[in-house]
């Protein structure tokens, strides 16, 4: 089997397996008839890398994690000696597994982040959805306002993202609170004026 | 050394889901309250497939154009000066949305995964975007001409048997399509009964939370966007008139204006037609097994 055969192409439109005619980069799906252009890169033909383990002899430095193997790399962050198995090549650096885990858990780097929670969308949902239920908004509006203000500066995405959701959440919840204050004041004032004062 | 917080720029100006960094593509998948990232590093990319997305046929295009024309004509006839202006704004916004929708997409393969990226509406623009990606990959992999690779190994690129995990993309969209069918059915009869209006509004809110990616049938997306635009303009005009604001919560007051009711029914009928066509198309490829050129490809 050639390296090329390690990757199967299916039609992106209907999921059917594609049959390629040699030396042609444009093919047609036999099931749905979609015209598909295939662009192949050298990585397609690259053979899988094999890791060679060399035992430690005499005064050679050994891997921090495998004492019986010779060190071939150093961790870019902590400087530990690493064998070829323990070296993780990531974002242009050679890292040891411990440093990679530390970088991931500390979340100092966005390069390892697998996802983000949208606090601004939650604030917007809290400020708008309860309006459908009416009276529920008397509770949720202050919560939404506090939450939107508290999380205003928090990054919700590693890609550029506007603050429009947080701003809308603040506006909606502040307006809802203002409306509730007006309604409550009118209600209580109306009650006080409608009840006649009893004179002694 | 690569920065820990890379600067991203969008692949396309209007697309906020695909971003380019110096050494990778970032694909953002949006959930309800969360986004997930997929990074494809230039050095890991093995192949790219350019393909056309589902486009509406003549029947649906005619239905779309006549639906929009009929929907806005009510407003222009009933309240001429402002109605015409509102209709023009409505059509302009919809046309802007319509013409930025991708007509082509690319599927990028690495050794372990593949990711689909929406490109531009025209083939020329899509090829330009893809060639930009190709150039970056080629630079990263220290080569310029991608066709050289084919000359290196002109053998067949396909394994003769497939593992059986390949799924027809149309199958996964069947449930949302049926949901949209219910939505448009309630929309089409919403002018007759307050209860159907309530169900229509309820399903309409739920549609905001259903994923409609670029591979979802275009006509259904189009009908949904038209209905959403109509609903928003309905609320905006109703709020502008500022009558009994608390009845907004009830919803039934919104159905009073005849032109909106008729427009909503017409656009829902267009949506219903789109759903019927989408269901028929998805059934077209519902095959358990096929034999092509002597290669048996079961899909259990």
pLDDT tens sequence across B110-155: 877 888 888 888 888 888 888 888 888 888 886 544 444 444 444 4
Pick A109's closest partner by Cβ from B4, B28, B146: B4
Tens-digit pLDDT profile for residues B224-234: 899 888 888 87
The C-alpha angle with vertex A178 and arms to A173 and A183, in degrees rounded to 5, equals 125
Q: What does the pLDDT read at residue B166?
A: 46
- Cα A197 from chain centroid (whole Å): 63
Chain B interface includes A200 (CB < 8 A):
no
In this prediction, does ipTM exceed 0.90? no
Mean pLDDT of A146-166: 88
Helix then strand count (H, E) for chain B reads: 9, 9
Highest-confidence segment of A86-100, B3-17, B49-63:
B49-63
Mean pLDDT of B238-265: 61
CB contact under 8 A, A12 and B46: no
Chain B interface includes A45 (CB < 8 A):
yes
Q: What does the pLDDT read at residue B54?
A: 76
Lowest-pLDDT choice from B14-18, B160-164, B167-171: B160-164
CB contact under 8 A, A40 and B168: no
The residues that bridge with A36 in the sheet, in sequence order, are A27, B51
Residue B126 CA to residue B15 CA, distance in Å, equals 13
Lowest-pLDDT choice from A67-76, B204-213, B274-283: B204-213
Pick A41's closest partner by Cβ from B36, B47, B50: B47
**And the tokens for B22?**
């110096």
Give the rounded percent of residues in chain A with a pLDDT score beyond 70. Answer: 80
Helix then strand count (H, E) for chain A reads: 6, 7
Residue B270 CA to residue B66 CA, distance in Å, equals 9
The region that residue B251 occupies, defined by phi over 0 for left and psi between -120 and 50 for alpha, beta otherwise, is left
CB contact under 8 A, B47 and A17: no
Residue B257 CA to residue B69 CA, distance in Å, equals 18
* B167: nearest CA partner in chain A: A15
Q: What does the pLDDT read at residue A147?
A: 92
Pick A20's closest partner by Cβ from B4, B5, B158: B158
Residue B291 CA to residue B297 CA, distance in Å, equals 6
Whether residue B98 has pLDDT greater than 70: yes
Residue B29 CA to residue B263 CA, distance in Å, equals 34
Tens-digit pLDDT profile for residues A41-53: 877 776 666 666 7
Contacts of A116 in chain B (CB under 8 A): 34-35
Concatenating the DSSP letter of every residue in B100-117 gives: TS-SEEEEEE-SS-EEEE
> What is the pTM assigned to this prediction?
0.72
Whether residue B3 has pLDDT greater than 90: no
Choose, out of B8, B51, B111, B245, the residue to mutate when testing the contact with A (most A CBs < 10 Å). B51
Q: Which residues are within 8 A (CB) of B104 and not within 5 positions of it... i.e. 6 or more apart? A: B50, B51, B52, B53, B119, B120, B121, B122, B123, B126
Calculate the average pLDDT of chain B.
75
């Amino acid at each position: 089997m050639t390296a090329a055969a390690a990757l199967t192409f299916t039609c992106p439109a209907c999921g059917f397996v594609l049959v390629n005619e040699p030396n042609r980069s444009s093919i047609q799906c036999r099931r749905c008839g979609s015209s598909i252009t295939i662009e192949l890169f050298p990585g397609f033909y690259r053979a899988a890398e094999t890791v060679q383990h060399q035992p430690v002899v005499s005064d050679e430095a050994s891997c921090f994690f495998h004492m019986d193997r010779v060190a071939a790399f150093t961790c870019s962050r902590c400087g530990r000696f690493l064998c070829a198995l323990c070296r993780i090549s990531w974002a242009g650096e050679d890292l040891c597994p411990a440093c990679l885990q530390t970088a991931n858990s500390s979340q100092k780097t966005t390069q390892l982040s697998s996802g983000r929670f949208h606090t601004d969308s939650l604030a917007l949902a809290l400020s708008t959805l309860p309006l459908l239920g009416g009276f529920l908004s008397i509770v949720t509006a202050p919560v939404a306002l506090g939450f939107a203000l508290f999380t205003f500066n928090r990054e919700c995405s590693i890609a550029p993202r506007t603050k429009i959701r947080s701003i809308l959440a603040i506006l909606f919840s502040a307006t809802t609170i203002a409306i509730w204050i007006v309604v409550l004041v009118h209600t209580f004032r109306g009650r006080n004026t409608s009840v006649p004062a009893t004179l002694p | 050394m690569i920065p820990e917080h890379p600067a991203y720029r969008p692949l396309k100006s209007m697309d906020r889901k695909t971003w380019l960094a110096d050494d990778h593509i970032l694909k953002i998948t949006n959930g309800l309250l969360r986004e997930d990232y997929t990074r494809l590093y230039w050095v890991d990319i093995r192949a790219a497939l350019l393909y056309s997305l589902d486009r509406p046929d003549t029947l649906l295009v005619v239905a779309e154009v006549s639906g929009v024309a009929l929907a806005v004509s009510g407003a222009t006839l009933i309240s001429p000066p402002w109605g015409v202006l509102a209709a023009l704004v409505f059509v302009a916004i919809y046309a802007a949305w319509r013409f930025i929708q991708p007509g082509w997409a690319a599927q990028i393969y690495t050794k372990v995964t593949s990711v689909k990226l929406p490109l531009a509406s025209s083939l020329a623009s899509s090829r330009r975007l893809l060639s930009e990606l190709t150039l970056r990959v080629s630079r990263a992999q220290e080569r310029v001409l991608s066709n050289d690779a084919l000359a290196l190994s002109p053998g067949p690129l396909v394994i003769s048997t497939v593992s059986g995990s390949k799924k027809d993309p149309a199958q996964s969209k069947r449930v949302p399509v049926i949901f949209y069918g219910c939505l448009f059915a309630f929309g089409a009869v919403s002018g007759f009964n307050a209860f159907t209006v309530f169900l229509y509004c309820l399903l309409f809110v739920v549609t905001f939370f259903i994923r409609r990616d670029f591979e979802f049938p275009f006509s259904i997306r189009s009908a949904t966007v038209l209905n959403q635009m109509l609903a928003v303009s309905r609320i905006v005009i109703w709020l502008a008139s500022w009558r009994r604001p608390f009845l907004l919560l009830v919803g039934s007051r919104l159905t009073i204006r005849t032109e909106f009711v008729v427009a909503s029914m017409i656009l829902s009928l267009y949506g219903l037609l789109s759903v019927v066509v989408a269901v028929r198309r998805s059934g077209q490829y519902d095959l358990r097994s096929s034999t092509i050129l002597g290669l048996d490809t079961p899909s259990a």
